[in-house]
Amino acid sequence: MNSNIPLYKMIKNNIKEDIKNGKYSQNCKIPSETELGDFYHTSRITVVRALNDLVSEGYLYREHGKGTFVNQQIRENVMNLVGFNERMKTLDLALKTVLLERSIVRIPEEMANYFKLSLDTEVIYIKRLRIVEDKRLCLSKAYFIKHNHEWLLDEDIEQNSIYHLLENKYKQKLGQGTQLFGVDHLDRDDAKELGVGSSKSLLRLKLFTYLENNQPFEFDTTYYNQDFYEYEIELNRK
């Protein structure tokens, strides 16, 4: 035992490792506070402090009168260009979308540079919170080319998938996309919407998409709470 690490932190780290290596699976009940106290030869107060941290970080959840359980973590293996709604439906997960902002703005410089468009180009900015299985999973900040897509200003995009509307109602097919991975933070207001601290590191996915006719369509940056989410990529050696 490393005496330089407070005991509650050691308990917390050990439980995290047990979750990550599969000893405690999703929705599994972990040992009680009394059992953990006996195992680590420490007080219930120390155990409760460790568990409270894990609950606040999203690793565990409590059910009154039943105990403490491992939170569900969403894992995706995405190889094709599919919308968020489609992915959650495939995983049979309950999704709620909350529209936080929708407006017409000037194109962001990063989007203009990628698509080689003028900085005077008008785009539709849409910010949405995605709640999956009652957990605030991610915050999306997306920009869509306004020309030919003004319908985005009026459609109900909390109840309907943008990709589904695009292809089925407006008869425009998506073509291809490029996704970039990174780690980032949100500002205080956006972090509050996602239910995390502004200093918390988040998985950041940037997506640039084209229509089938090679016209630029979308630039989306989505920030994922990694406590609930894993992104899996399958690699094959040629």
CATH number of 74-232: 3.40.1410.10
pLDDT (tens digit per residue) in 31-55: 999 999 999 999 999 999 999 888 8
d(CA 56, CA 137): 14
Name, in order, each residue with C-beta under 8 angstroms of 194's C-beta and a sequence gap of 6 or more: 129, 136, 138, 139, 186, 202, 223, 225
Please count the CA atoms within 13 angstroms of the CA of 117 that sit on its side-chain side: 23
d(CA 224, CA 194): 9
pLDDT (tens, 9 = 90+) of the chain, 238 residues, equals: 555 788 999 999 899 888 878 888 878 899 999 999 999 999 999 999 999 888 877 788 888 888 998 876 655 555 567 778 887 887 778 899 999 999 999 999 999 999 999 999 999 999 999 998 888 999 999 999 999 999 999 999 999 999 999 999 999 999 999 989 899 999 999 999 999 888 888 999 999 999 999 999 999 999 998 777 766 666 566 6
Is the torsion defined by CA of 101, 166, 205, 215 positive or negative?
negative
CATH number of 7-70: 1.10.10.10
Where does residue 179 rank: exposed (0-12), middle (13-18), buried (19+ CB within 10 A)? middle
d(CA 84, CA 121): 26
Domain positions in the chain are 7-70, 74-232
